Amino acid sequence: MPSSPFITRSTSVSAIMFKVLLALVPGIALYVWFYGPAILVSLALASVTALATEAVMLKLRNRPIKPFLSDNSALLTAWLLALSIPPLAPWWLVVVGTMFAISIAKHLYGGLGSNPFNPAMIGYAVLIISFPLHMTHWLSPLGLGQAEIGFADQLRYIFSGALPPGLTLDAVTMATPLDTLKTQLHMNRPMQEITAMPIYGHLAGHGSEMVAVGFLLGSVYLFANRIITWHQPVAFLGTLFLTAEIFHMVDSGHYATPMFHWFSGAAMLGAFFILTDPITSPTTPKGKLIFAAGAGFLTYIIRVFGGFPDGVAFATLLMNICVPLIDAYTQPKVFGHKAGKK
């Protein structure tokens, strides 16, 4: 806590959410640089769907539409979801996920401030459970795929599902670095040979590692504006690092480096933008540490031993369930009272 005098500025929800959106921009810019502009279409589609769904739900719930619609929270959900799913996804995938996230995961639980689960992660979980095939067609980084298609062709694929003649979806997409590692290890290829494949870059996947760096850069802005505290990112990344390091030390032939796990998948996005959601994470500092450490550990376990391509979403949702419990057990003792006594 800062010392007195306690002069604070009250910051509006929409200003905070807008700053979080701004902090996502470096990551998105690098995304476009490495994968082409298809992600911008997903972002736009998700944004429009989120705002429309939000308006309809507010109307159904007899809430004022304008103040809630302009609080940017629906937009943030939309962006986080769009960034979690393959950019070259058919339009209905983005629309269904966003509608589910806003209507069921957010408004049916009481709207902004009352939802126990991160709506974007619910949207992702619904999509990966319902459409596993579509969720694995990730666009190859530019320069790596067997073929590349221009923005016009990407647009056509997203809206009509048609690729230029002679091209298959497999030619322009590939599995994620995390997925590739898992399947190649299954085929008993040695770790060194796998990480020498062109899909891998310096730390993790070629291209995707830089997107993760972009999110890391964006987090500086969040810290500078005191929108997030250090607790969740440090506990999450620390636990992920430690768990990965232990496995890597024991058997480096089968378990990737901690750095690989940091810069793969949604780890950076999760650490700074998803786990730090003030609504679905604990309120106490100690609680935040427990919450994020649990998510870090579960992310590793689900990634390495689970059947899904990434573990951040399910780890977040599992820890979301525990938030009320964590909050109840980490209340600081009131000054003048003895600990452990009511």
Span of 122-130, 241-249, 255-263, 276-284 interacting with another protein by CB under 8 A: 122-130
Q: With binding defined as CB under 8 A, does residue 38 bind another protein? A: no
Counting residues that bind another protein (by CB under 8 A) gives 8
Cβ neighbourhood burial of 50 (10 Å; 0-12, 13-18, 19+): buried
Residue 129 contacts another protein per CB under 8 A: yes
In the complex, minimum distance from the CB of residue 93 to another protein, in angstroms, rounded to a whole number: 9
Choose, by CB under 8 A, the member of 19, 134, 137, 286 that binds another protein: 134
Q: Whole-angstrom Cα distance, residue 243 to residue 236?
A: 11
Q: How far is the CB of 100 from another protein (least distance, A)?
A: 9
**Residue 336 dihedral angles phi and psi, to the nearest 5°:** 95, -15
Query: With 0-12 CB in 10 A as exposed, 13-18 as middle and 19+ as buried, what is 42?
Result: buried
**Binds another protein (CB under 8 A): choice among 12, 130, 146, 252:** 130
Taking the complex as a whole, the smallest distance from the CB of residue 126 to another protein amounts, in Å, to 5
Residue 113 or 132 with smaller CB distance to another protein = 132
Nearest to another protein of 130, 160 (CB atom): 130
CB of 129 to another protein, least distance (A): 5
Contact 95, 47 (CB under 8 A): no
CA–CA separation, 240 and 302 (whole Å): 12
CA distances in angstroms from 143 to 41, 130, 170, listed in the order given: 21, 31, 15
Span from 130-138, 151-159, 303-311, 320-328 in contact with another protein (CB under 8 A): 130-138
Cβ nearer to another protein, comparing 129 with 246? 129
Tokens of 67: 């103040």
Return the number of the residue (95 or 213) whose C-beta is nearest another protein.
95
CA–CA dist 138, 313 (Å, integer):
17
Tell me the residue type at 93: L
Cα 108 to Cα 310: distance, rounded to the nearest angstrom: 27
CA–CA separation, 164 vs 149, rounded Å? 8
The residue among 132 and 190 lying less far from another protein, judged by its C-beta, is: 132
Cβ-proximal residues to 61 (8 Å cutoff; 6+ apart), any chain: 107, 111
Q: Is 126 in the site for another protein (CB under 8 A)?
A: yes
Binding of another protein by 109 (CB under 8 A): no
Q: Rule CB under 8 A: say whether 169 interacts with another protein.
A: no
- Site membership for another protein, residue 56 (CB under 8 A): no
Options 15, 51, 52, 96; binder of another protein; rule CB under 8 A: 96
Q: Is 45 in the site for another protein (CB under 8 A)?
A: no
Location of structure tokens 């992702």:
124
Neighbours of 56 (CB within 10 A): 15
> Which of positions 303-332 make contact with another protein (CB under 8 A)?
none
SS (H, E, C) 273-291: HHCCCCCCCCCCHHHHHHH
Closer of 1 and 133 to another protein (Cβ): 133
Using CB under 8 A as the binding rule, whether residue 104 contacts another protein is answered as yes
Measured CA distances, 244 to 201, 252, 296 (Å): 19, 10, 10
The residue ranges that bind another protein (CB under 8 A) are 96, 104, 108, 126, 129-131, 134
